[in-house]
């Protein structure tokens, strides 16, 4: 098999040399044999919050896949995010997958996951509000008696997409970004918190837990965006993260039969760890973790995932 990578950008490829080529939306490095959406369509902007733009990206991926397969019948494709290309015939287009679409759809749904895990781990209090008008009323009612900021999320999103910060000063501008007929999950923005991620790899019921990291989050245009990772948590925090991750794995992930790499996001606030979401894919911080693993002479998460995917395909 000649393996090609499909993803948003080529950052994660800098520690890997086992790909025949790649298809990405953006290119931040001089990556060899890379087909880039923004090179092909330099005048087209991409909004990762927009469903139409995400569909446009999927169509670009499929167009490139068809061209590559026409030239190379031995070409196969691994996705950074297995939620991409979910509506296409994976086997027809040589797209490797470790799980059924229904599992990815469940894990990527921030609303459903919180419902499933509410009796397993700590989750912040949240409300569901439908439509921008009701969001506005909710905020104004709370601000009559409370002086706090809020976080709004849609069902689906990654790396900060579809996550918004609302304050008394910015809410009028932020409301313009919301939709009339979309449901939002709303919770109080925690003060003095930091975000934590842990990578896992699951195969045939066996689970590997990797070193947790603090996620560097920056606020840009009142949205939270990932900006790097630090693998320097205290032993007590690492143990706390592993303990909560093991509860989620044992009481949920193994039950639904998930296979492969994934990440679990938490926030630590006032010495309490709260579950945030499960990312059924490589993480933005996977490249950094792979680098650390390879320096120790261990297999990267890419190597592990590739072995699993090719085995499942055959």
- pLDDT higher than threshold 60 for residue 160: no
Average pLDDT in the 193-222 region? 90
Least confident of 35-39, 85-89, 148-152, 203-207: 85-89
| Res 196: pLDDT | 95
pTM: 0.88
pLDDT in tens, 18-50: 789 999 998 888 888 899 999 999 888 887 767
> Cα separations (Å) of 312 from 54, 91, 204?
27, 12, 11
72 confidence band (pLDDT: 50, 70, 90): very high
| Res 217: pLDDT | 77
The β-bridge partners of 205 are: none
Q: Is 195 exposed, middle or buried (0-12, 13-18, 19+ CB in 10 A)?
A: middle
User: Cα–Cα distance between 265 and 263 in angstroms, integer?
Assistant: 7
| Res 173: pLDDT | 92
Residues in the chain: 314
Q: Is 276 exposed, middle or buried (0-12, 13-18, 19+ CB in 10 A)?
A: buried
Average pLDDT in the 92-115 region? 89
Query: Which of helix, strand or coil describes residue 121?
Result: coil
Q: What share of the chain is helix, strand, coil (3-state, %, to 5)?
A: 35, 30, 35
Are 50 and 68 a contacting pair, CB within 8 Å?
A: no
Least confident of 44-58, 109-123, 164-178, 288-302: 44-58
> Domain 105-123+191-303's class?
alpha beta
- pLDDT higher than threshold 90 for residue 190: no
The sign of the dihedral angle between the CA atoms of 292, 297, 301, 306 is: positive
Cα dihedral 227, 232, 236, 239, rounded to 10, equals 70
User: Cα–Cα distance between 128 and 130 in angstroms, integer?
Assistant: 7
| Res 158: pLDDT | 59
How far does the chain reach from its first CA to its final CA, in angstroms? 11
The sign of the dihedral angle between the CA atoms of 23, 217, 293, 301 is: negative
Are 73 and 89 a contacting pair, CB within 8 Å?
A: no
Average pLDDT in the 163-183 region? 90
| Res 157: pLDDT | 63
User: Cα–Cα distance between 295 and 16 in angstroms, integer?
Assistant: 13
Residue 228, φ and ψ in degrees, nearest 5: 125, 175
């Amino acid at each position: 098999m000649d393996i090609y990578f499909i993803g948003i950008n080529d950052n994660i490829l800098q520690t890997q040399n086992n790909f025949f080529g790649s298809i990405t939306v953006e290119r931040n490095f001089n990556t060899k044999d890379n087909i880039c959406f923004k090179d092909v369509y330099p005048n087209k902007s991409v909004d990762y919050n927009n469903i139409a733009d995400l569909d446009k990206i999927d169509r670009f991926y499929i167009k490139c896949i068809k061209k590559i397969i026409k030239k190379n019948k031995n070409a196969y494709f691994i996705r950074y995010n297995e939620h991409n290309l979910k509506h296409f015939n994976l086997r027809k287009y040589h797209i490797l997958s470790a799980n059924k679409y229904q599992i990815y759809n469940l894990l990527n749904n921030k609303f459903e996951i919180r419902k499933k895990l509410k009796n397993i781990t700590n989750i912040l209090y949240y409300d569901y509000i439908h439509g921008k008008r009701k969001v506005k009323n909710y905020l104004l009612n709370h601000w009559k008696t409370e002086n706090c900021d809020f976080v709004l999320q849609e069902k689906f999103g990654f790396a900060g997409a579809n996550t918004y910060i609302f304050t008394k000063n910015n809410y009028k501008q932020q409301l313009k970004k919301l939709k009339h007929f979309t449901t939002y999950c709303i919770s109080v923005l925690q003060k003095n918190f930091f975000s934590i991620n842990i990578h896992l790899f699951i195969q045939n019921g066996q689970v590997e837990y990797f070193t947790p990291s603090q996620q560097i989050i920056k606020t840009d245009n009142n949205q939270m965006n990932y900006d790097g990772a630090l693998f320097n948590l205290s032993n007590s925090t690492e143990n706390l993260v592993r303990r909560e991750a093991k509860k989620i794995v044992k009481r949920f992930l193994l039950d639904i039969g998930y296979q492969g790499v994934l990440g679990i996001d938490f926030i630590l606030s006032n010495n309490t760890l709260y579950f945030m979401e499960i990312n059924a894919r490589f993480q933005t911080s996977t490249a950094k973790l792979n680098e650390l693993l390879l320096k120790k002479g261990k297999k990267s998460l890419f190597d592990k995932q590739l072995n699993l995917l090719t085995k499942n395909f055959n």
